[in-house]
Amino acid sequence: MKPLPFLFLLLTRWGSSIYPIVLAPLTRSRSFGNVPQPHAILYYSQRTSRGGLLIAEATGVSNTAQGYPETPGIWTKEQVEAWKPIVDAVHAKGGIFFCQIWHVGRLSNRDFQPNGQAPISSTDKPFSPQLQSSAIDVAHLTPSRRLRTEEIPQIVDDFRLAAKNAIEAGFDGVEIHGAHGYLIDQFMKDQVNDRTD
């Protein structure tokens, strides 16, 4: 007989007391003005079970991080305060709550950027046909501006501060969003990153 997977064992044997379920991060686009809203208390607490891990929707590290409508941030005091009751509600039901911190980089357009500036990235080269055949509508993306070498430490610092803010808001940890073609991925992928510095 094949051994049962550990997760399955936990679910079936201890299912009534421990639900080691993970909620994947899911962008909701309901954080008006990039501030988490009180209705997220209900949303996240409904998805909490004792011992379960929830990863919050991708949450911007700065005012250049956004690329989708009404996504939350965690770079201002107001945002940190708005997260607190949401985190408290998850903790009250025994959940473990991580904040996913992100920066979309070039997957953005001027409308999401301060002063209508170009989105920032590792590169300023145009999008590849590969991206154009994906679900993302490149017509809505503004060509990016390549970060200068001396600007990069500020972006690192934005992530550092966002992580610190997440802990202040009560989160148990952070997940750094380093995939899906967003800023960190733009630096990590040779197809996109054409830097020599």
Ligand X SMILES: Cc1cc2nc3c(=O)[nH]c(=O)nc-3n(C[C@H](O)[C@H](O)[C@H](O)COP(=O)(O)O)c2cc1C
Binding site for ligand X (CB under 6 A): 24-27, 57-58, 100, 177
Which residues have C-beta within 8 Å of that of residue 22, sequence separation ≥ 6? 52, 53, 54, 55
Which of 53, 118 has the CB closer to ligand X? 53
Which one is catalytic: 19, 44, 68, 182? 182
Q: Least Å distance between CB 31 and ligand X?
A: 12
Q: Least Å distance between CB 175 and ligand X?
A: 8
Q: Least Å distance between CB 119 and ligand X?
A: 17
Q: Least Å distance between CB 194 and ligand X?
A: 25
114, 131, 117, 118: which is closest to 60 by C-alpha?
A: 114
Which of 99, 169 has the CB closer to ligand X? 99
Q: How many angstroms separate the CA atoms of 109 and 129, rounded? A: 18
182 is known as an active-site residue: yes
Which of 87, 148 has the CB closer to ligand X? 87
Per DSSP, the three-state class of 120 is strand
How many helices (H) and strands (E) are present in the chain, helices listed first?
Answer: 6, 7
Structure tokens at 69: 């409508």
Tally Cβ neighbours within 10 Å of residue 63: 15
Which of 27, 76 has the CB closer to ligand X? 27
Which sign, positive or negative, has the C-alpha torsion 83, 84, 87, 92?
negative
Residues acting as catalytic residues: 182
